[in-house]
Protein backbone atom coordinates (compact mmCIF):
# COMPACT_ATOMS: atom_id res chain seq x y z
CA UNK A 1 0.00 0.00 0.00
CA UNK A 2 2.88 2.39 0.74
CA UNK A 3 4.19 2.06 -2.80
CA UNK A 4 0.78 2.57 -4.34
CA UNK A 5 0.26 5.63 -2.18
CA UNK A 6 3.63 7.06 -3.17
CA UNK A 7 3.01 6.40 -6.84
CA UNK A 8 -0.41 8.02 -6.91
CA UNK A 9 0.73 10.94 -4.74
CA UNK A 10 3.68 11.62 -6.94
CA UNK A 11 1.26 12.05 -9.81
CA UNK A 12 -0.81 14.64 -7.94
CA UNK A 13 2.17 16.45 -6.44
CA UNK A 14 4.85 16.91 -9.07
CA UNK A 15 6.63 20.14 -8.17
CA UNK A 16 7.13 23.03 -5.76
CA UNK A 17 4.73 25.00 -7.92
CA UNK A 18 2.15 22.29 -7.53
CA UNK A 19 2.33 22.35 -3.74
CA UNK A 20 2.09 26.15 -3.61
CA UNK A 21 -0.90 26.06 -5.95
CA UNK A 22 -2.81 23.43 -3.96
CA UNK A 23 -2.16 25.19 -0.65
CA UNK A 24 -3.10 28.60 -2.03
CA UNK A 25 -6.32 27.23 -3.44
CA UNK A 26 -7.18 25.69 -0.07
CA UNK A 27 -6.59 29.11 1.52
CA UNK A 28 -8.78 30.86 -1.03
CA UNK A 29 -11.45 28.17 -0.58
CA UNK A 30 -11.31 28.90 3.16
CA UNK A 31 -12.28 32.50 2.47
CA UNK A 32 -8.86 33.95 3.26
CA UNK A 33 -8.25 37.61 2.44
CA UNK A 34 -4.56 37.40 3.25
CA UNK A 35 -2.06 34.70 2.32
CA UNK A 36 1.64 34.63 3.15
CA UNK A 37 3.87 32.20 1.32
CA UNK A 38 7.37 31.46 2.52
CA UNK A 39 9.92 29.38 0.69
CA UNK A 40 13.30 28.18 1.87
CA UNK A 41 15.83 26.91 -0.63
CA UNK A 42 13.34 27.41 -3.47
CA UNK A 43 10.72 25.50 -1.51
CA UNK A 44 12.75 22.29 -1.28
CA UNK A 45 13.58 22.74 2.41
CA UNK A 46 10.34 24.45 3.34
CA UNK A 47 7.10 25.72 1.86
CA UNK A 48 4.83 27.51 4.27
CA UNK A 49 1.43 28.94 3.40
CA UNK A 50 -0.36 30.95 6.07
CA UNK A 51 -3.88 32.26 5.68
CA UNK A 52 -6.52 34.08 7.71
CA UNK A 53 -9.36 31.89 6.49
CA UNK A 54 -12.04 30.10 8.50
CA UNK A 55 -9.70 27.38 9.75
CA UNK A 56 -10.36 23.67 10.08
CA UNK A 57 -13.02 22.49 12.51
CA UNK A 58 -11.73 20.29 15.32
CA UNK A 59 -13.97 17.48 14.12
CA UNK A 60 -12.35 17.57 10.68
CA UNK A 61 -8.70 17.76 11.70
CA UNK A 62 -8.26 14.02 12.21
CA UNK A 63 -9.32 13.33 8.62
CA UNK A 64 -8.16 16.49 6.84
CA UNK A 65 -5.24 14.75 5.16
CA UNK A 66 -6.91 11.41 4.71
CA UNK A 67 -7.22 10.51 1.07
CA UNK A 68 -10.54 11.64 -0.43
CA UNK A 69 -11.69 13.58 2.57
CA UNK A 70 -13.11 16.94 1.62
CA UNK A 71 -15.30 19.31 3.60
CA UNK A 72 -16.29 21.09 0.42
CA UNK A 73 -18.98 18.82 -0.98
CA UNK A 74 -21.61 16.78 0.80
CA UNK A 75 -23.76 15.54 -2.04
CA UNK A 76 -23.69 14.86 -5.72
CA UNK A 77 -25.68 18.04 -6.38
CA UNK A 78 -22.94 20.08 -4.75
CA UNK A 79 -20.66 19.04 -7.58
CA UNK A 80 -22.88 20.86 -10.04
CA UNK A 81 -22.61 24.15 -8.25
CA UNK A 82 -19.01 24.00 -7.21
CA UNK A 83 -17.66 27.30 -6.00
CA UNK A 84 -14.37 26.05 -4.63
CA UNK A 85 -11.10 25.08 -6.26
CA UNK A 86 -10.90 21.84 -4.31
CA UNK A 87 -13.41 19.03 -4.04
CA UNK A 88 -11.43 15.82 -4.47
CA UNK A 89 -9.77 15.75 -1.08
CA UNK A 90 -6.52 14.70 -2.60
CA UNK A 91 -3.96 17.44 -2.18
CA UNK A 92 -3.16 17.43 1.51
CA UNK A 93 -2.93 13.64 1.70
CA UNK A 94 -0.73 13.50 -1.37
CA UNK A 95 1.64 16.14 -0.03
CA UNK A 96 1.96 14.15 3.21
CA UNK A 97 3.16 11.16 1.19
CA UNK A 98 6.09 13.09 -0.28
CA UNK A 99 7.12 15.50 2.52
CA UNK A 100 6.94 16.26 6.24
CA UNK A 101 3.72 18.15 6.84
CA UNK A 102 2.33 20.06 9.79
CA UNK A 103 -0.84 22.11 10.02
CA UNK A 104 -1.64 24.88 12.48
CA UNK A 105 -5.25 25.93 12.53
CA UNK A 106 -7.79 27.93 14.50
CA UNK A 107 -11.46 28.55 13.78
CA UNK A 108 -13.58 31.35 15.16
CA UNK A 109 -14.91 28.99 17.86
CA UNK A 110 -11.49 27.77 19.03
CA UNK A 111 -9.83 29.64 21.89
CA UNK A 112 -6.33 28.90 20.66
CA UNK A 113 -4.69 27.39 17.61
CA UNK A 114 -3.42 23.82 17.50
CA UNK A 115 -0.47 22.42 15.60
CA UNK A 116 -0.88 18.94 14.10
CA UNK A 117 2.05 16.85 12.93
CA UNK A 118 1.08 14.47 10.15
CA UNK A 119 2.74 11.26 8.99
CA UNK A 120 3.22 9.84 5.50
CA UNK A 121 -0.32 8.48 5.45
CA UNK A 122 -1.87 11.77 6.49
CA UNK A 123 -2.67 10.65 10.03
CA UNK A 124 -2.00 12.89 13.01
CA UNK A 125 1.00 11.66 15.00
CA UNK A 126 1.02 14.42 17.58
CA UNK A 127 -0.54 17.76 18.38
CA UNK A 128 0.20 20.71 20.60
CA UNK A 129 -1.17 24.18 21.37
CA UNK A 130 0.13 26.96 19.17
CA UNK A 131 0.00 30.74 19.22
CA UNK A 132 -1.36 31.79 15.83
CA UNK A 133 -4.56 33.70 15.16
CA UNK A 134 -7.57 32.53 13.17
CA UNK A 135 -6.71 30.72 9.97
CA UNK A 136 -4.50 27.92 8.80
CA UNK A 137 -0.77 27.53 8.29
CA UNK A 138 0.49 24.53 6.38
CA UNK A 139 4.22 23.75 6.49
CA UNK A 140 5.76 21.36 4.01
CA UNK A 141 9.32 20.32 4.85
CA UNK A 142 11.82 18.31 2.81
CA UNK A 143 9.70 17.97 -0.30
CA UNK A 144 10.34 14.77 -2.28
CA UNK A 145 12.71 13.50 0.42
CA UNK A 146 11.59 9.98 -0.47
CA UNK A 147 11.66 10.53 -4.25
CA UNK A 148 15.35 11.01 -5.03
CA UNK A 149 14.87 11.22 -8.77
CA UNK A 150 12.32 13.99 -8.49
CA UNK A 151 14.47 15.77 -5.93
CA UNK A 152 17.41 15.53 -8.27
CA UNK A 153 15.57 17.62 -10.84
CA UNK A 154 16.16 20.57 -8.51
CA UNK A 155 19.91 20.20 -8.12
CA UNK A 156 20.57 22.80 -10.78
CA UNK A 157 20.14 26.40 -9.68
CA UNK A 158 18.78 27.20 -13.11
CA UNK A 159 15.88 24.76 -12.68
CA UNK A 160 15.24 26.15 -9.18
CA UNK A 161 15.09 29.71 -10.47
CA UNK A 162 12.75 28.69 -13.25
CA UNK A 163 10.49 27.08 -10.69
CA UNK A 164 10.54 30.21 -8.49
CA UNK A 165 9.55 32.28 -11.51
CA UNK A 166 6.66 29.92 -12.15
CA UNK A 167 5.52 30.43 -8.56
CA UNK A 168 5.65 34.20 -9.12
CA UNK A 169 3.66 33.85 -12.33
CA UNK A 170 1.07 31.78 -10.50
CA UNK A 171 0.71 34.54 -7.91
CA UNK A 172 0.27 37.06 -10.70
CA UNK A 173 -2.57 34.98 -12.09
CA UNK A 174 -4.33 34.91 -8.71
CA UNK A 175 -3.70 38.62 -8.19
CA UNK A 176 -5.52 39.31 -11.44
CA UNK A 177 -8.52 37.09 -10.72
CA UNK A 178 -8.73 37.90 -6.99
CA UNK A 179 -7.92 41.61 -6.70
CA UNK A 180 -9.11 41.85 -3.09
CA UNK A 181 -6.70 39.19 -1.95
CA UNK A 182 -3.48 40.31 -0.33
CA UNK A 183 -0.50 38.01 -0.51
CA UNK A 184 3.22 37.96 0.01
CA UNK A 185 5.97 35.70 -1.16
CA UNK A 186 9.16 35.38 0.84
CA UNK A 187 12.18 33.43 -0.26
CA UNK A 188 14.94 32.41 2.14
CA UNK A 189 13.72 34.41 5.12
CA UNK A 190 14.13 37.82 3.56
CA UNK A 191 11.42 39.92 5.08
CA UNK A 192 10.13 42.81 3.05
CA UNK A 193 7.91 45.60 4.25
CA UNK A 194 7.14 48.37 1.87
CA UNK A 195 5.17 51.57 1.54
CA UNK A 196 4.22 52.18 -2.08
CA UNK A 197 1.73 55.03 -2.39
CA UNK A 198 -0.53 55.40 -5.39
CA UNK A 199 0.16 58.26 -7.82
CA UNK A 200 -1.33 61.66 -7.16
CA UNK A 201 -0.96 61.28 -3.43
CA UNK A 202 0.37 64.20 -1.40
CA UNK A 203 3.53 62.36 -0.64
CA UNK A 204 4.58 62.38 -4.28
CA UNK A 205 7.49 64.60 -5.10
CA UNK A 206 7.86 66.36 -8.45
CA UNK A 207 11.45 66.03 -9.29
CA UNK A 208 13.49 64.24 -11.87
CA UNK A 209 16.22 63.55 -9.41
CA UNK A 210 14.09 62.31 -6.59
CA UNK A 211 16.09 59.14 -6.07
CA UNK A 212 16.82 60.40 -2.61
CA UNK A 213 13.08 60.32 -1.90
CA UNK A 214 13.05 56.55 -2.02
CA UNK A 215 14.13 55.13 1.26
CA UNK A 216 15.66 51.70 1.54
CA UNK A 217 16.51 50.11 4.85
CA UNK A 218 18.45 46.94 5.42
CA UNK A 219 17.97 45.65 8.95
CA UNK A 220 16.75 49.14 9.97
CA UNK A 221 19.83 50.83 8.52
CA UNK A 222 19.21 53.45 5.80
CA UNK A 223 21.26 52.42 2.79
CA UNK A 224 21.92 53.26 -0.85
CA UNK A 225 20.98 50.33 -3.04
CA UNK A 226 20.87 51.52 -6.65
CA UNK A 227 19.69 48.23 -8.16
CA UNK A 228 16.78 47.99 -5.78
CA UNK A 229 15.72 51.61 -6.38
CA UNK A 230 15.97 50.94 -10.09
CA UNK A 231 13.75 47.90 -9.73
CA UNK A 232 11.15 49.86 -7.73
CA UNK A 233 11.15 52.64 -10.32
CA UNK A 234 10.86 50.21 -13.17
CA UNK A 235 7.77 48.61 -11.69
CA UNK A 236 6.23 51.90 -10.68
CA UNK A 237 6.75 53.33 -14.16
CA UNK A 238 5.18 50.29 -15.76
CA UNK A 239 2.22 50.54 -13.42
CA UNK A 240 1.66 54.30 -13.66
CA UNK A 241 3.24 55.42 -16.94
CA UNK A 242 1.40 58.75 -17.10
CA UNK A 243 2.65 59.86 -13.73
CA UNK A 244 6.19 58.83 -14.35
CA UNK A 245 6.42 60.80 -17.59
CA UNK A 246 5.45 63.91 -15.65
CA UNK A 247 8.31 63.07 -13.37
CA UNK A 248 6.03 62.49 -10.49
CA UNK A 249 7.49 59.82 -8.32
CA UNK A 250 6.06 58.82 -5.01
CA UNK A 251 8.17 58.52 -1.93
CA UNK A 252 8.65 54.82 -1.76
CA UNK A 253 9.84 53.09 1.32
CA UNK A 254 11.17 49.57 1.54
CA UNK A 255 12.40 47.76 4.61
CA UNK A 256 14.46 44.65 4.03
CA UNK A 257 15.19 42.30 6.90
CA UNK A 258 17.83 39.66 6.31
CA UNK A 259 19.73 37.42 8.72
CA UNK A 260 22.60 39.52 10.17
CA UNK A 261 25.12 36.98 8.91
CA UNK A 262 24.06 37.58 5.32
CA UNK A 263 24.97 41.26 5.28
CA UNK A 264 28.22 43.16 5.66
CA UNK A 265 27.78 46.74 6.91
CA UNK A 266 31.40 47.80 7.18
CA UNK A 267 31.98 48.39 3.52
CA UNK A 268 32.33 52.16 3.81
CA UNK A 269 33.12 54.26 6.92
CA UNK A 270 29.67 55.89 6.93
CA UNK A 271 28.02 52.46 6.66
CA UNK A 272 25.56 53.65 4.02
CA UNK A 273 26.74 50.95 1.68
CA UNK A 274 25.98 47.43 2.69
CA UNK A 275 27.08 44.27 1.03
CA UNK A 276 24.27 41.77 0.67
CA UNK A 277 25.84 38.37 0.35
CA UNK A 278 22.99 37.11 -1.75
CA UNK A 279 21.89 40.19 -3.63
CA UNK A 280 20.32 38.05 -6.33
CA UNK A 281 17.95 36.49 -3.77
CA UNK A 282 17.04 39.91 -2.36
CA UNK A 283 16.31 41.29 -5.83
CA UNK A 284 14.22 38.21 -6.61
CA UNK A 285 12.23 38.66 -3.40
CA UNK A 286 11.72 42.39 -4.02
CA UNK A 287 10.58 41.66 -7.52
CA UNK A 288 8.16 38.99 -6.28
CA UNK A 289 6.70 41.52 -3.85
CA UNK A 290 6.28 44.15 -6.58
CA UNK A 291 4.75 41.62 -8.91
CA UNK A 292 2.25 40.48 -6.31
CA UNK A 293 1.50 44.11 -5.47
CA UNK A 294 1.04 45.46 -8.97
CA UNK A 295 -0.12 42.25 -10.55
CA UNK A 296 2.35 41.88 -13.37
CA UNK A 297 5.97 41.98 -14.38
CA UNK A 298 7.12 44.86 -16.60
CA UNK A 299 8.68 43.70 -19.83
P1 LIG B 1 -9.94 19.58 -1.16
O2 LIG B 1 -9.39 20.96 -1.30
O3 LIG B 1 -10.16 18.92 -2.50
O4 LIG B 1 -11.16 19.51 -0.27
P5 LIG B 1 -7.48 19.00 0.23
O6 LIG B 1 -6.73 17.73 0.40
O7 LIG B 1 -6.78 20.08 -0.52
O8 LIG B 1 -8.85 18.64 -0.47
O9 LIG B 1 -7.92 19.52 1.65
C10 LIG B 1 -8.65 18.63 2.48
C11 LIG B 1 -9.54 19.38 3.47
O12 LIG B 1 -8.72 20.02 4.45
C13 LIG B 1 -10.37 20.49 2.85
O14 LIG B 1 -11.57 19.99 2.31
C15 LIG B 1 -10.58 21.40 4.05
O16 LIG B 1 -11.62 20.91 4.86
C17 LIG B 1 -9.29 21.25 4.84
N18 LIG B 1 -8.33 22.34 4.55
C19 LIG B 1 -7.16 22.22 3.89
N20 LIG B 1 -6.50 23.41 3.84
C21 LIG B 1 -7.29 24.30 4.48
C22 LIG B 1 -7.17 25.70 4.78
N23 LIG B 1 -6.10 26.43 4.39
N24 LIG B 1 -8.17 26.29 5.48
C25 LIG B 1 -9.25 25.57 5.88
N26 LIG B 1 -9.42 24.25 5.64
C27 LIG B 1 -8.45 23.61 4.95
MG1 LIG C 1 -7.53 21.46 -2.02
Q: What is the pLDDT of residues 35-89, one digit of tens each?
A: 999 998 889 989 999 999 999 999 999 989 988 888 887 777 777 777 788 777 8
For residue 132, pLDDT over 90 is answered with: yes
Ligand nearest the Cα of residue 73 is 1
Domain boundaries, the chain: 2-187, 191-294
| Phi, psi for 191 (deg, rounded to 5) | -105, 130
Residue with the smallest CA separation from ligand 1 atom 26 is: 56
Do 2-187 and 191-294 come out as alike in CATH topology?
Answer: no
Q: Whose CA is nearest to atom 21 of ligand 1?
A: 26
The residue to mutate among 28, 36, 92, having the most atoms of ligand 1 within 8 angstroms of its beta carbon, is 92
Q: pTM for this one?
A: 0.70
Q: Which ligand is nearest to the CA of 61?
A: 1
Best CATH choice for the domain 191-294 from the list 3.30.70.270, 3.30.230.10, 3.40.50.1110, 1.20.120.850: 3.30.230.10
The 10 Å CB-count burial string (b at 16+, else e) for 138-156 is bbbeebbeebeebeeebee
Ligand 1 atom closest to the Cα of residue 135 is 24
Encode pLDDT of 225-256 as tens digits: 888 888 888 887 787 776 655 555 667 788 88
The residue whose C-alpha atom lies closest to atom 13 belonging to ligand 1 is 70
Q: Whose CA is nearest to atom 19 of ligand 1?
A: 26
Q: Report the C-alpha gap between 290 and 226 in whole angstroms.
A: 16
The residue contributing the CA closest to ligand 1 atom 2 is 86
Q: CB–CB of 72/92 below 8 Å?
A: no
For ligand 1, atom 7, name the residue with the nearest CA.
91
Ligand 1 atom nearest residue 103's Cα: 20
Average pLDDT over residues 266-280: 77
Q: Which of 19, 25, 26, 34 to mutate to test the pocket of ligand 1 (most atoms within 8 A of CB)?
A: 26
Which CATH topology does 2-187 take? Answer: Heat Shock Protein 90 (3.30.565)
In the structure, which protein residues have their CB atom closer than 6 angstroms to any atom of ligand 1? 22, 26-27, 30, 51, 53, 55-56, 60, 64, 69-72, 86-93, 136
ipTM, 2 decimals?
Answer: 0.99
Q: Name the closest ligand to CA 87.
A: 1
Select the more confidently predicted residue: 41 or 17: 17
Question: What is the spatial distance between Cα 177 and Cα 8, in angstroms, rounded to a whole number?
Answer: 30
- 156 CA to centre of ligand 2 in angstroms: 29
- Crossing angle of helices 279-294 and 226-239, in 10° steps, is 20
Q: Which ligand 1 atom sits nearest the alpha carbon of residue 53?
A: 24
Burial 63-82 (b: 16+ CB within 10 A, else e): bbbbbebbbbbeeeeeeeee
- If you measure from the C-alpha of residue 73 to the centroid of ligand 1, how many angstroms do you get, rounded to a whole number? 11
C-alpha distances in angstroms, 77 versus 28, 80, 90, 211? Answer: 22, 5, 20, 59
pLDDT tens, residue by residue, 154-196: 888 889 889 988 998 898 888 878 878 888 888 776 777 777 7
Amino acid sequence: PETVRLLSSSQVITSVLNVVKELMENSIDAGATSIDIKLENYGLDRIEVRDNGHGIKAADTSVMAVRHFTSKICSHEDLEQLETYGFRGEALGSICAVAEVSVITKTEEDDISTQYMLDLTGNIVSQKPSHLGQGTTVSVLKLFKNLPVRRQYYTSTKKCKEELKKVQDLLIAYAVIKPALRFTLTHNKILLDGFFPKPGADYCSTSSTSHDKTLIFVNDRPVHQKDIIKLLRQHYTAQYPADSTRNRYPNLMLKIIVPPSSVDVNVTPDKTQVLLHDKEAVLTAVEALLVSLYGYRPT
